[in-house]
Homo-oligomer: A and B are copies of this chain.
């Protein structure tokens, strides 16, 4: 296992600023690019990250510490961010994400010690999971959605790059 709490926090605390640098002020063409019907654009990905800060990682961490395996985690709706009635700007979404993430890191630092990492809880689908697995997944979830954003943005230029598509791995369809 490679997980170390301080190294995980290095990533978690960088993601909001990284996304602000990358996405703030971008043209609508980039922010609304997606990979077709039913896929998310970069703004929708940020809104999903906001939902996960509110309803996923911290409630589950608290469930492990307070409930252990006695009760399953509260439900997290991965599509909740698509149900909003009005769309806000990317800057507004990034700002909320930043605020929530920093507050969540503070909560984590306040309650988690390295010897808690093997504590367990009950995932509604996976069954018994460890706090270490949850916190590792939080980090890799950031990576997954950063990769998704650049992939959907690259999609815009699939035709434009001409023969270079052969060398640009991000354009390979999986």
Contact = CB atoms under 8 A, between A and B. Distances in A.
A103 interface: no
- Assembly stoichiometry (copies): 2
Contact of A157 (B130, B140, B172, B174): B140
Nearest to A148: B169
Contact of A168 (B1, B4, B144, B160): B144
Interface stretch (A14-22, A62-70, A89-97): A14-22
A154 interface: yes
Interface of A: 1-4, 6-7, 10-11, 14, 17-18, 20-22, 25-27, 29-30, 123, 126-127, 129-130, 132-134, 136-137, 139-141, 143-144, 146-148, 150-151, 153-154, 156-157, 159-164, 167-172, 174
